[in-house]
Amino acid sequence: MKVRTRFAPSPTGYMHIGNLRTAIFEYLLAKKYNGDFILRIEDTDQERAVPGAIEFIYKTLELCNFKIDEGPMNEKGYGPYIQSERKDIYKKYALELVEKGKAYYCFCKEEELEEMRKKAAARKRPFLYDGRCSHLSAEKIAENLKNGVPYVIRQKMPKTGVTIVEDLVYGKIKIDNSILDDQILLKSDGLPTYNFANVVDDHLMAITHVIRGKEYLDQTAKYNLLYEAFGWEKPIYAHVAMVLGEDGNKLSKRNGDASFMDLYNVGFLPEAIVNYLSLLGWSPNNNQELFSMEELIANFDESRISKSSSQYDVKKLEWFNHQYITKLEDDKYLDWIKKYFKQDVSDKDEVWLDKLLLIYKDHLNYGEQINEVTKNFFIKDISLDEEEMEFLKSDEKIPAILEEYSKEIANIDDWQIANINNAINNVKNNLGVKGKLLYMPIRIVASGFMHGPELADTLYLIGKNTILDRINK
């Protein structure tokens, strides 16, 4: 059996972090077994569809280094890969279930359904359709169809017993059939519901493994009953626990949680994002954290997917991104970071700019951060925060250190890093100070920051006259 997994996003224009994490697991599972990774677009909710979203999804997966074996833009015999283009297929299979007695026409009007919902709410019970249309006579059904009465097609659920769901993560789950609603399979507009389309498409596209959120675990009983009704083989399921936001709630764009492109656009590297997300809900059999895509594929073990929810932590993501930034070759780093650099450098040459960007290579967590850490190189007057001011007042020697350093650099004729370091060493020897007490006052007053790259490199780029001016002020 060739392993075939599918990623089936809605074309809403962005890829949610939780959705991408699921896609990562699906991709790793397929590639671990030399299988196929299929992209399918679930656009049955036409109101949410965004023009150009399919190309956007391809671009996102390409950035993440995913090889899409089949999809809307590279069909290979199982298409169409867009659900709205498969409308006739779903109707055919829905009618097949009606003929088998496993589904039925429902002609209930919205007013009737609303009345049922009110009664269920009054009894403090979840709404379940009462199945009244499943008892209509053949003659009544034929009459309604002839007269063009709007209808949906519902799945006929068993009302007794249990349905067993086998899951790679959660094991054997028993679902009481009495809680299963006679779900709609085909809507009145002829489009399928999410659950029905998934079952039909997964079967026709020969999907062997389905990875999806734990919140759909109870729904899998309905899936299994559909597979049994058709006489089809069920895929292997793996339900993964939710990724929670930093506030402990479900990740949501509406709550302000970042999408993949939000992160990419502010300077998170795709490989760092994929690496981090792969470890949300899955763990390797050792303590390794940094993985290339090839290493992730080789090490991925579906049996090590966690049953517990994981929490998205942007600080941890920043740590991963920092590791990847530092590993970039200098020329690739410069090409990358210049996309995010927004300072006015019209009065600077390319050599000066490259040196500035390079000294911060080991100090960045994401691309746009370069503008914050370098802003004081481009303004005349800097302002110090409360912590910096407190430090400058913390030792009575600090004014003398700054005065001495001012004298030393004033005497430098050749503004080079070696001479700048010599000036610092002269202050150290002349005043008998060292370490934090020596370096931090100079850094604060010269750059406006308490921490940063090598001090001499920083001072060199700021320039002699600017430093003297800042010390004097």
Structural contact between residues 388 and 441, judged by C-beta atoms closer than 8 angstroms: no
How far apart CA 393 and CA 444 sit, in angstroms, is: 12
Rounded-to-5 percentages of helix, strand, coil across the chain: 50, 10, 40
How far apart CA 468 and CA 473 sit, in angstroms, is: 9
**CA angle, residues 113, 118, 123, in degrees to nearest 5:** 125
Q: 80: cis peptide before it, omega within 30°?
A: yes
What is the chain's length? 473
How far apart CA 199 and CA 197 sit, in angstroms, is: 6
Residue whose token pair is 């079952």: 199
Catalytic residues: 253
Side chain identity at 13, as an amino acid letter?
G
Residue whose token pair is 């599972």: 29
Task: Identify the sign of the CA torsion 65, 68, 69, 73.
Answer: negative
Measure CA of the first residue to CA of the last residue in the chain; give whole Å. Answer: 75
How far apart CA 182 and CA 192 sit, in angstroms, is: 14
3-class DSSP state of 305:
strand
* Eight-class DSSP state of 179: G
**CA angle, residues 242, 155, 88, in degrees to nearest 5:** 90
3-class DSSP state of 322:
helix
Pairing of strands 171-176, 162-167: antiparallel
Q: What is the H or E stretch that residue 154 is in?
A: strand 152-155
Q: What is the H or E stretch that residue 152 is in?
A: strand 152-155
Token output for 205? 């596209």
How far apart CA 274 and CA 398 sit, in angstroms, is: 47
Structural contact between residues 92 and 60, judged by C-beta atoms closer than 8 angstroms: no
Residue whose token pair is 């709630």: 249
